[in-house]
Amino acid sequence: MILPGATLGLLGGGQLGRYFTIAARNAGYGVWVLDPDPSAPAAAFATRHLCAAYDDPPALAELGAGCAVVTTEFENAPAAALQALANDHGVPVRPPAAAVGVAQHRILEKQFFRDCGLPVGPFAAIHDADGIDAAVAAVQYPAIIKTARFGYDGKGQVRVANAVQAANELRANPGLLPCVVEQQLDLEREISVVLGRSVDGQMQCFPVAENRHTGGILDVSMAPADIPPALASEARRIAMQIADQLDYVGVLGVEFFVVAGGRLVLNEMAPRPHNSGHYTIDAGACSQFEQQVRLVCGFAPLDPKPGSAAVMVNLLGDIWRDGPPDWAALLANPHCHLHLYGKEDARPGRKMGHFTVTGASLSDALPQALKLRSHLGVGD
């Protein structure tokens, strides 16, 4: 077990890393952040910022020599860098590089779900241009092309109506390869499970959240999701099976589609704390970031007993178009918790912060959250 006073290493310095760093510092740990961005949000709270590429050998050597354990705050941290930290520098890496490698590659991820006998929608994998014709013919349409690497928040995705359009799109945009072509499903809703798994396999799940997206980016999360208890239980069971199969250590986010008839279909997983779990900062017994610190340090997960109902609203750079937003209405609401990530450049589509409204029930919290969302012009 890694006790307070030790230094934890973190690949990535975004907003998820910022909250991890705050939780770790509050618990008495030091944190070294490796991130190439000089203004990385996590760096403001870290004990040291290694401003270098994620795969920079000297920086990895320093991280390996100075840290008791290394974790990551985003799925695109190079799995090879994590493997090098474990193999070449002898530092524990949690979650393991192999699990991150599966989660950050859509072909491997889909095949992993399928091979585990878990529910996944129809898809075809395309590794190179020679495989385009056979793959696009194997899928029903409409469909979605999703690049295998570096696709998130709707990036690297193209909707296609038929096989001819799919083939033309892939030949015109070879940068999409390798990729998967997924049959577009008729969705009732989208939900997610955020769980924590310890070194010895103990697991705890946070309440299931329902998520609404705009333009491929998470807009609103509501917890606990308004779904039948049996469906929530099945989602937790599948998520825990995934964590066990990966021998996972840390916090894992698993996203599901709920399709006609209330059937679950896996969408994807994230080997880190999850945006839909931001509500845990303000509702419940512990946050997903406190859980992550405990787990990577070798302790058992806390029981995240359900607390208040919560609605989280993402704040993108779009609402800064006319200058800083008017936060007065949010701060005047005693049930609203505002979080800003300390990012300097408010670009459209960039996650700049979020707010969470808590209440006795979703019927109490949701109207307040949507009213405040409208006040800020979110989604306009």
User: How do residues 120-161 score in pLDDT, each as one tens digit?
Assistant: 999 999 999 999 999 999 999 999 999 998 766 557 889 999
In the numeric block, which tokens belong to residue 367?
Answer: 């109207």
Burial of residue 334 (number of CB atoms within 10 Å: 0-12, 13-18, 19+): exposed
132 and 58 in a common domain: no
pLDDT reading at 292 higher than 70: yes
Does residue 271 lie in a domain region? yes
Q: How big is the CA angle at 131 (ends 128 and 137), to the nearest 5 degrees?
A: 140
- The CATH number linked to 48 is 3.40.50.20
301 and 338 in a common domain: yes
367 and 229 in a common domain: yes
Does residue 116 lie in a domain region? no
Across residues 330-334, what is the average pLDDT? Answer: 97
Does residue 101 lie in a domain region? no
pLDDT of 336 reads 98
* Helix (H) or strand (E) segment spanning residue 290: helix 288-296
Which tens digit of pLDDT belongs to each residue from 338-364?
Answer: 999 999 899 999 999 999 999 999 999
Does residue 289 lie in a domain region? yes
pLDDT of 153 reads 59
321 and 178 in a common domain: no
E-strand stretches of the chain: 7-11, 30-34, 48-50, 69-72, 123-126, 143-147, 157-160, 179-183, 187-197, 203-205, 209-214, 217-223, 250-259, 263-270, 309-316, 336-340, 351-359
273 and 177 in a common domain: no
Phi, psi of 156 (to 5 degrees): 70, 25
Does residue 106 lie in a domain region? no
Average pLDDT, the chain: 95
Does residue 113 lie in a domain region? no
pLDDT reading at 77 higher than 90: no
Last residue of a domain, one of 161, 183, 205: 183
pTM for the full predicted model: 0.95
Does residue 255 lie in a domain region? yes
Q: How big is the CA angle at 242 (ends 240 and 246), to the nearest 5 degrees?
A: 120
pLDDT of 151 reads 64
Domain count for the chain, please give it. 3
pLDDT of 52 reads 97
Q: How big is the CA angle at 122 (ends 117 and 127), to the nearest 5 degrees?
A: 95
Which tens digit of pLDDT belongs to each residue from 254-268?
Answer: 999 999 889 999 999
pLDDT of 87 reads 94
270 and 168 in a common domain: no
Across residues 67-89, what is the average pLDDT? Answer: 92
Across residues 223-243, what is the average pLDDT? Answer: 97
Does residue 195 lie in a domain region? yes
Last residue of a domain, one of 183, 208, 233: 183
pLDDT reading at 331 higher than 70: yes
193 and 178 in a common domain: no
- The CATH number linked to 272 is 3.30.470.20
pLDDT reading at 49 higher than 70: yes
| pLDDT classification of 108: cutoffs 50, 70, 90 | very high
| pLDDT classification of 75: cutoffs 50, 70, 90 | confident
256 and 149 in a common domain: no
Distance, CA of 101 to CA of 113 (rounded, Å):
14
Which tens digit of pLDDT belongs to each residue from 183-197?
Answer: 999 999 999 999 999
Domain that holds residue 177: 122-183
Across residues 195-214, what is the average pLDDT? Answer: 97
pLDDT reading at 321 higher than 80: yes
In the numeric block, which tokens belong to residue 231?
Answer: 């469906």
Across residues 70-75, what is the average pLDDT? Answer: 91
Q: pLDDT exceeding 70 applies to what percent of the chain?
A: 98
254 and 178 in a common domain: no
